[in-house]
Structure 1
C-alpha cells in the first residue's frame, strides 16, 4: 500500500493523497501545466527549478521515462503533483518509470488529489508557496515553516541551473554564443540542426568574455525565476546590444527588455503548457506555442524605449515578442524549440540565422591579420 503524502498551500488549503517518488519534505511555488503529453520534458526543464509542478492532465506516467527526451542533465522541479500516477509504463522506449526518476533525484511526488480544485485555486488566488511532505508534522508547524521560507530563498535558480563551465557543440556554420540561464537542450538542438557552431557560456559571463569568443550572434536562453534577480545579465546585454545580433527566449526575452529600458512584472498564475495561442502582429497569424514563465514584460513600460511589440498572447493580451527599432535583435516569450509542444515556431531560428547573415553583409569584420597588425602598431 502506498504511503500518504500531503500538499499544504500557504493559504491553509490541504490536499491529502498518495506518495510516489522520494520520501521527505520540499517547499516551492505551486504552479500548474496544462500539457496533455510531455511530462518528462516538464520534469527536466530547468525553468521549473524552485517549483512544485501540478499536471492538469489526469494520467501521468503511462509512457514512462526515456533519457533521450531529457531537456537538461537532470530534473530541477521541487515537487510533482498528479491526479493519477501510473507506476507501470507501457511504451517500448521507456527506460524507467516516473517513480524511479523521482526517487533517483530525491523529488517528492503526490497523486490521487483533486488537481482540478488545486488548479482553480491557483487561477483564482494566484501562484502561492506550498509544502509537499510525506512526513507527519502537524499543519500548524508546516504553516510556520512556510512563513519562515521567504520567496527570496527561492530566487537563486539561475546559478543552480546554469552551466559552470564553457563548452561547445561544434558546427561549420555561424558561431552562436548561447548564454545559459537554465537552457533547454532543444535550443542547442535547433541551432545544431542549422549547422551552427555553438558555444555555451555561464549566466555570469561578461561582455568582454563573449567578445573574445568572436561570435556571429548571441542566443539568450530560457531560465527560471524573476529576471530582476539576474542584474549582471542585464548589464551584459546592454553592453552588447547593437554589436551582435541577439535572439532571446523566455527569460532571455525578459532580460533583453530590461536591458532596453522596459520593465517586467509578475503574472497572477503564469503561462505553462503547450497550447497557448500567440498572435504575430506583423502578419496577423496565430501560432500555438509552448510556454513556461511566471513573469511578463510590462506593456506600459515599452513606451519611450526603442522596442516594438511583435507578438501578443491571445488569451490575456500580454506581450509575447519584441524587436529593437534600430539594432538586429528580437525576442519571444514562448519556446520556439517546444519540447514539449508544437513545432510551429521553429522558423524563428531560421529568422535568427538570416538576421546574422544580413548583419555580416552590412558590417563585414576586418581580416584577423589586419586586426593583429593594428594591435601591434598600437603597442609600439
Structure 2
C-alpha cells in the first residue's frame, strides 16, 4: 500500500506502508547503524516518529533480549530499505513481523536522506503517516491535533517493583527507564527498587536507600514539574546519579534551565569529551532538550562532559555533594564499553555515603 509522510511545514515524502494505519508525532532522526529494536522499545521515543538514516533496516532480525521495555512507544517508523529476509544466529523473527504484531506504523522505501535534511534545516516538527489516498479533511484533523505534553506518565511503571541484590540499596525513579540501565546497575551489585515517576521525595526516603537514580525518559523536562519538585527535595539527602531526562531534571532542580535543541541528538555515534581527562568517547544518545550552560554560572556545579559536535553540556557534577549526571546513555555501548565506568563511580558514591 502506498503511503506518505506529511510534515507540518507542508513537506511530503512518499513510500510504502507496511500495514494500513496512520501515525501522529514529532518527526526525528536517528543516525545509528544498528539498534533498531532498542530504538523501537526505548521509552524516550514516546510520542515520536523515528526516521532511521542508515539505509538497510531489519537485516539481523529481532530477538527478545534486545527489548528495552515492555512494549514499543514510538508512534511510527520511517526507513529507506526494509529487509524482509533477515540473517543472524540470534534472530528469533523478522522486523516485519515484529512491527506488524505490535501495530507499529512503518513507512518504507522513503528517501530518508531528504527527510533528514529537511529536519536538520527546519528542526524537529510534527508529522503524520497516512495512506497516499487519505482525504484532506482527515489529514487536516491529524495535523491540528494537540501535541502530547507529559509523556512520562505514559511510560513510567504503574507499581513499585524490585530487582534484589546484595549491594547498596538504590531507588530508581522511572521516567521511562531502559532495561539495560537496570541491568547495568544490577550488574555492579545494586539492590534496586523501581518506583513510579510521581513518587514523592518523602516516600522515596521512607525506603531508606543508599542512593537515588534518576532515569532516562521522553519529552520536555519542564512538562513534569512534580519530578523537579521531588528531585529538589532529594538534593543533599542522598547520593544521586541521573541519565538523560534525569540529568535535565537534576539541572532544573538545582536552579538551572533547559532548552529545546533544533533537531536533537539521536544515534550511537556521538562524540563526547571528558573535560577533566580530555578523552573523547563515542556515545549513544537520544534527547531533544539540553541544559543551558549559562544558567549554571552561579550554581555549585561544574560541567564534566561536553558534546564535541555542538559544545552542549553532556555531564554535570555538584562541587560538594555526591551528585552527578550525564546526558548520554553509558549503558548503550556502541561497540566498546567506554562509558560504563560511570556506574562504578555511582557505586563508589553509594559506598562512601554509607
Q: How many angstroms apart in 1 are the aligned matches of 2:232 and 2:278?
A: 30
Match of 1:13 among 11, 19, 22: 11
TM-score (norm 1): 0.91
Q: Deviations over 1:270-324 (max 9, x none)?
A: 0000110111111111111100000000111111112211111000000000011
Indicate if the aligned counterparts of 2:24 and 2:142 stay in contact, CA closer than 8 A.
Answer: yes
1:77 aligns with 2:83: no
Match of 1:353 among 340, 347, 352: 347
SS of residue matched to 2:353: helix
1:313 aligns with 2:307: yes
SS of residue matched to 2:208: coil
Q: Give 5+ residue unaligned stretches, structure 1.
A: 361-380
1:95 aligns with 2:89: no
After superposition, where does 1:294-333 map in structure 2 within 5 Å?
A: 294-333=288-327
Match of 1:161 among 142, 145, 155: 155
Q: Over alpha carbons, which structure has the higher Rg?
A: 1
After superposition, where does 1:108-147 map in structure 2 within 5 Å?
A: 108-134=105-131, 136-138=133-135, 140-141=136-137, 143-147=139-143
Task: Give the length in aligned residue pairs.
Answer: 354
Indicate if the aligned counterparts of 1:290 and 1:341 stay in contact, CA closer than 8 A.
Answer: no
Q: Deviations over 1:328-374 (max 9, x none)?
A: 100000001116665210000000000111122xxxxxxxxxxxxxx
The match for 1:67 is 64
Indicate if the aligned counterparts of 1:24 and 1:135 stay in contact, CA closer than 8 A.
Answer: no
Moved segments of 4+, more than 6 Å: none
Q: How far off its partner does 1:23 sit?
A: 2.2
Q: How many angstroms apart in 2 are the aligned matches of 1:148 and 1:341?
A: 42
TM-score (norm 2): 0.97
Q: Give 5+ residue unaligned stretches, structure 2.
A: none
Indicate if the aligned counterparts of 2:165 and 2:189 stay in contact, CA closer than 8 A.
Answer: yes
The match for 1:371 is none
